Structure 1
Amino acid sequence: MSRTGRVVGRGAGGRIARSGIARSGVELLSSFRPRRALPTMVLLSIATGALVGILVAGFEQLTVEVLLERLLAAPLWWQAVAPVVGLGATVVILRLAGRGATPSTSDEYVRAFHERHPRLPISQLPAKLLAGVATIGLGGSVGLEGPSVYAGATVGHGTQGLFGRWLRREEAKMLLTAGAAAGIAAVFKTPATGVIFALEAPYRDDVARRALLPALLASASGYLVYVAVLGTAPVIDLGSHDVDLSIIHLGGGALLGLVAGLGGRGFAGLVRWAKGLENRFPIGMRILVGGAVLAGLVVASDAVFGHPLSLGPGVEATKWLRDSEHTLLLVAALLAFRVVATLTTVGAGGAGGLFIPLAVQGVIVGSFLGQAMGVNEIGLYRTLGLAAFLAAGYRAPITAVMFVAESTGTSAFVVPALIAAAASQLVAGTSSVASYQLDKRQGVVERRLALPLTSVLTTDTLTVPPDATVSELVHIHLIGRREREVPVVDGGQYRGMCGLEQVSDLEREAWDTTLVAGITRRDLPTARPSWTLRDTMTQMDSNDTDHLAVTDDHGTFIGVVRADDILRLDEILDETEGV
C-alpha cells in the first residue's frame, strides 16, 4: 500500500512538474509572439521585408556602383573635393526635397520606437535615401546601414498607416521593428543579424522581444529579395577563417574585448559630441570646416598609405589590412584617420550610419593588438576586434556576435567572439552611438512618469491678483470652485500660491481687510514645461504639496499641474500596452 502510494505520489509529482515546465515554456514562447492578428502580421511583415529589400538594393547600387567606386578610381583632386560636395548636396536635398528633414537615420528608428505616436513621414524617405547617396557615394565616412534602417522603419510604419484599422499600436510598432530588421538583413546580407539588431538597438540592456516573429519574417523576405538582385558577397571580407582554437585565443579574445570596449566607449562619446555640434554652429560653417578636414584627410591618407583610405564607410581600409602586412605605426595611423573622418562627417551633417564605421575600427584595433602580440591568426583577432568594438559602441553584444557568425560563415569564431563581446561590455559604460537608446524596457507606470509635464498641464486655471481680499479668495475660489490652492498672479507674473492652509490661520473678521499678498506662500518651487511627470512628483513630495505652478524662465505664469491629474494616468493615456 505504502509503496503504491509512493509510486503514485512520484508519478503525480512528475506530471505536475512536467506540466509546470510545459506551461513555463509556453508562456516564455508566447511572450515573443504578437498578441493577436497573427495572420495579418505574418503577411504584412513578409510584404514589408520584400519592399525594403528592393529599396535597399536600389540605394546600395546607386551609392556604391554609380558613385563611390567611380570616386575611388578618380583623380586625387576630385577625391579631395567630393566629400564637401556630398555634404552640401545632402543639406540641399534634406531642406528642399525633405522639407527640412534632419540627416538622422538609424537614430530615427530608435526614437520612433520609443515614442507613443511615432512619426516617420513616408514623404521624407526619398530625401533621406538621396541624402545618404550624396554623403556616402561622394566619400563621407559613414555606413550604408543608417539609411537602410530608416527606409525599413519608415516602410513598416507606413504599412501601419495603410492597415491601421486592423492593427493595434503594439502591432504597428512591431512592423516598424520588422522593417528595420529587413534593412539590416539586406544591406549586410545577414538576416539573423538584422533580427537581433532591430530588437537590441532600442535598449542598452534589454530587447524588444514581442517584435521577434515579425522581425524574423521581414528579415528573411528582405534578405531573399536583396540577394536575388545583388548576390551574397559579404560587405566586410576578413579573409581566411581557418584556425585551430586554443585557450590562448580565448584569453586573447578577452583582452581584446577590454581594449576594444574602452575604444568603443570613447568613440561613442566622441560621436555624441559631434552630433551636438548641430546646436552650436551653423550648417554652412560645419560644411566648410568639415569639407576642409575631409579633403586634408584624403590627401594625407593617400600620401601615407598609397590610397585615400579615409574615404567611404571603410571597406577599402579592411582590404588594405587584409592584403598585406603593415607596421604597427601605419595601423595606428589608419585608426586615427578613420575615427577623425567619421566624426567629421557626422559633425558636418552627413547622412549615414555608424555600424560599418564601428566594425571597421574594430578590425583595425584587432589587427593592431594581434600584430603587437605576434599571433599568427591575425584574421581571428580582426574578427574579434570587430565584435568587441561594435558591441561596445552600439551596446549590442548579441548583434555583434551574430554578425561575426554570419559574416565568417564558420562557428569557430563564435565562442571567442562571445568572450570578446562580453568583456567589452564590462568597460563600455552607458554611452552609445545611438542617441535615443534606453537602458531597458519600462513598466507601464515608468513609461507614464517619463511623459512630459505638459501631458497634465492645466492652462485655463483661474488666478487671483495679490490685491484681492481674502474674502474674495474664499468665496470665489475656495468655496465657489472648491479649489484648495490658487495661483497668485500679478500682470502675468507668478507671485506664489494661496489656499486653505493660509486662510485657516487668519481670523474670520480679518478676511475683508486682509489682502491675498499678505498671506501668499512664496517658498514653493515652480515647474517648467520641459519637466517630466517624475520630476514634478519628486518636487511635490519634497515640498509637501499637491499643486505646482508652471512658469517659463522669466516667471510668466503658464498654468498649474496637480497631483490628482498625474495619478489619474489611465485618463491621461488612451492605451497602456507597448512593445
Structure 2
Amino acid sequence: MSFYSDLKERFPGSSRLAIILLQVAPIAACIGSAVALFLWLLDKATTTRQQHTWLLFLLPLGGLLIHFLYKSIGKNAEKGNNLLIEEIHEPAADIPKRMAPLVLFSTIVTHIFGGSAGREGTAVQMGGSISAAMGGWFKTTDKESLQTLLTAGIAAGFGAVFGTPVTGAIFAMEVLTIGRIRYDALLPCIFAAIIANYTCSAWGIHHTQYHILFKNTLQYFSADSFHLLWKIVVSAIAFGLAAFLFADLTSFLKKTFQQFIKIDWFIPVTGAIIIIALTYILGTDDYLGLGVTSPNPNGVSIVNAFNEGGVTYFSWFWKLLFTAITLSSGFKGGEVTPLFFIGAALGNALAILFHAPVDLFAALGFIAVFAAATNTPIACTVMGVELFGGEHILFFALACFIAYFFSGHSGIYSSQKIGVAKLGSPYAGEKNLSESFSRRGKVISSIVEKLRRKKNN
C-alpha cells in the first residue's frame, strides 16, 4: 500500500483536502521544472531562428515531422487542451503520459522553424499530463480527486509559464465551464500555481515585464472619466469581436484544410508554404514565433505595442492570420501569447484612433482579447493586476467583461461546456462550444449555398 493510500485509510472524510494538497506539492514542483525547461528551450529556439532566417524554409519539414509523430505515437494527445477539459468533466484515465514530451518537442519544432504560435497550450498540456501520471503513481482513483488534480495541473502550468500564479489558479477553475467556477478546487489550484511558479523562477527563468506609464488622475463620475470610459467600452467591443474572429477563423481554416486536402500529411506542408509566402509578401518576419520581442528595435512586437508607433494599424490582423494558419494546419504551441499580441496591437491602433493613452489601451487589449477567446473574464482581470498593477483594475474589469460578452459562444477551447449562456442565448445546459461552431458552420454553408443557387438562376 502506498503512503498516500495509507493516509486515506487513517484520515478519511475531512482529510481528503490535506491528502490532495500533499499530492499537489510534488506534482506542482515537477510541472514548474518542466515549464522552466520548456521556456529555456523556447528562448534558444527563438534566438536561433532569428539569427538564421533560412530556417523558415524548413517549416514544411517541421510540419511533416510533427504530423507523423502524432500520427504514429500521439493517439488522443492530438486533442491537446480540449482533452484535458473533457477529462476533467468526465474522468476516463485517458490522458497519455507521452502528451508532455510530445507537445514540448513539437512546440520547439514549430518555433525554431518560424511557426506563429504561443506557449500556454504546451505548459497546460504538460501540467495536465504530469498530473495524470503522478496521480496514477499516488493511486488516486476517485473521480473528484482526479478532477481536482488535473485542474491543479492546469493552474500550475499556466501560472508558471506566465509568472501569474493567482491568474493560473482562477483560470484553471473558470475555463472548464462558461459561466461557472469550480470553487472546490480553489486551494489545490492556488497551492499548485504558487509552487510551480516558485520552482520555475528558482531555475533562473525570468518573465517579460510590462509597464503602464499612464497615471489615472481622473475622478470617477466626472466628465473626463466618462470621456475615457466610452473609448474603453468601444474598444472592448472590438476586442471581443477580434477574439471571435480568431476562434472562428481557426476553426474554419482547419475544416477547410481537411475538406480540400485529402492527403493529411500535406495539410501542414500547405500551411507552412502559406506562412512562408505571407512572410515574403509582407517583407517582415515580425509575425513569426511568439512575437513578445523583436531583434529589430523598430520591429512589431508585444513589447513595442505599448509605445506609440510601435505597431501598424493592421499588425493585429496579420498576427491573427499567421497564427490561425499555423495552428489550423497542425503545428503545435498555444494561442494565448499570439492573443496577447493581437490584443496589444489592436489596443495600440484604437488608442491612436481615439487619441487615448497607448500603453493603457495596449494593456487592455492584451488581457481582454485573451478573456474573450478563453471565456475567462475574471482570471484575465486578475492577470491585468498581476502584470500591470492594480491602479487600473476598473478599466481591466470593464474591458474583460465587455469583450467576454461580445465574443459570443465562441472560443479557442471547443470542449468548454456552456453552463450559463451569454446575453440570454438559448444554447445553455450541457452543450459545449464545438456545437456552437458546428451550428455557425451550417448557417454559413446555407448562406453560401443560397448565394450559389441565386447566381446560377
- The verdict on a shared fold, with TM-score over 0.5 as the criterion, is yes
After the TM superposition, which of the residue ranges 330-339 and 185-194 deviates more from structure 2?
330-339
1:81 is aligned, of 57, 62, 65, to: 57
Structure 1: how far apart are the matches of 2:416 and 2:51? 39
1:229 aligns with 2:203: yes
Mapping of residues 171-570 of structure 1, within 5 Å: 171-234=145-208, 237-246=209-218, 247=225, 248-277=227-256, 279-280=258-259, 281=261, 282-301=263-282, 303=283, 307-316=284-293, 317-322=301-306, 325=309, 331-375=312-356, 377-408=357-388, 410-440=389-419
Asked if structure 1 preserves the Cα contact closer than 8 Å seen for 2:418 and 2:430, the reply is no
Q: Which residue of 1 aligns with 2:84?
A: 109
1:193 to 1:435, Cα distance in 2 relative to 1, 3 A: same
Structure 1: how far apart are the matches of 2:242 and 2:76? 32
Deviations 1:172-214 (A, max 9, x none): 1100010110001111011011111111111121112211111
- Percentage identity across paired residues of the two chains: 22
2:139 is aligned, of 164, 173, 178, to: 164
- Aligned amino acid, residue 95 of structure 1: K
Deviations 1:306-339 (A, max 9, x none): x41111122132134345625xxx6233122211
Give the TM-score normalised by structure 2. Answer: 0.81
Deviations 1:530-556 (A, max 9, x none): xxxxxxxxxxxxxxxxxxxxxxxxxxx
Asked if structure 2 preserves the Cα contact closer than 8 Å seen for 1:297 and 1:337, the reply is no
- In terms of fraction of residues, the more helix-rich structure is 2
Partner SS state of residue 120, structure 1: coil
Structure 1: how far apart are the matches of 2:19 and 2:412? 35
Q: Which residue of 2 aligns with 1:135?
A: 110
Structure 1: how far apart are the matches of 2:160 and 2:115? 21
1:279 to 1:43, Cα distance in 2 relative to 1, 3 A: same
Superposition deviation, residue 39 in structure 1? 2.1
Structure 1: how far apart are the matches of 2:419 and 2:244? 19
Structure 1, unaligned stretches of length 5 or more? 1-33, 443-448, 452-579
Structure 1: how far apart are the matches of 2:28 and 2:186? 14
1:147 is aligned, of 122, 127, 144, to: 122
1:117 to 1:87, Cα distance in 2 relative to 1, 3 A: same
1:320 to 1:73, Cα distance in 2 relative to 1, 3 A: farther
Partner SS state of residue 218, structure 1: helix
Structure 1: how far apart are the matches of 2:256 and 2:147? 31
Structure 2: how far apart are the matches of 1:429 and 1:41? 36
Partner SS state of residue 387, structure 1: helix
- Aligned amino acid, residue 321 of structure 2: V
Asked if structure 2 preserves the Cα contact closer than 8 Å seen for 1:94 and 1:128, the reply is no
Deviations 1:74-96 (A, max 9, x none): 23xx1531432332221233234
Give the TM-score normalised by structure 1. Answer: 0.65
Q: Which residue of 2 aligns with 1:27?
A: none
Asked if structure 1 preserves the Cα contact closer than 8 Å seen for 2:88 and 2:150, the reply is yes
Superposition deviation, residue 274 in structure 1? 3.0
Structure 2, unaligned stretches of length 5 or more? 1-12, 219-224, 294-300, 422-428, 432-457
Structure 2: how far apart are the matches of 1:35 and 1:394? 34
Superposition deviation, residue 349 in structure 1? 0.3
Which structure: larger Rg?
1
- Aligned amino acid, residue 27 of structure 2: T
Structure 2: how far apart are the matches of 1:245 and 1:73? 44
Number of aligned residues? 396
RMSD: 2.4
1:103 to 1:72, Cα distance in 2 relative to 1, 3 A: farther
Superposition deviation, residue 415 in structure 1? 1.1
1:124 to 1:421, Cα distance in 2 relative to 1, 3 A: closer
Q: Which residue of 2 aligns with 1:484?
A: none
1:71 aligns with 2:46: no
Q: Return the structure number with greater relative CO, CA threshold 8 A, min gap 6.
A: 2
1:405 to 1:361, Cα distance in 2 relative to 1, 3 A: same
Superposition deviation, residue 227 in structure 1? 0.6
Asked if structure 2 preserves the Cα contact closer than 8 Å seen for 1:207 and 1:441, the reply is no
Structure 1: how far apart are the matches of 2:236 and 2:183? 27
After the TM superposition, which of the residue ranges 193-202 and 261-270 deviates more from structure 2?
261-270
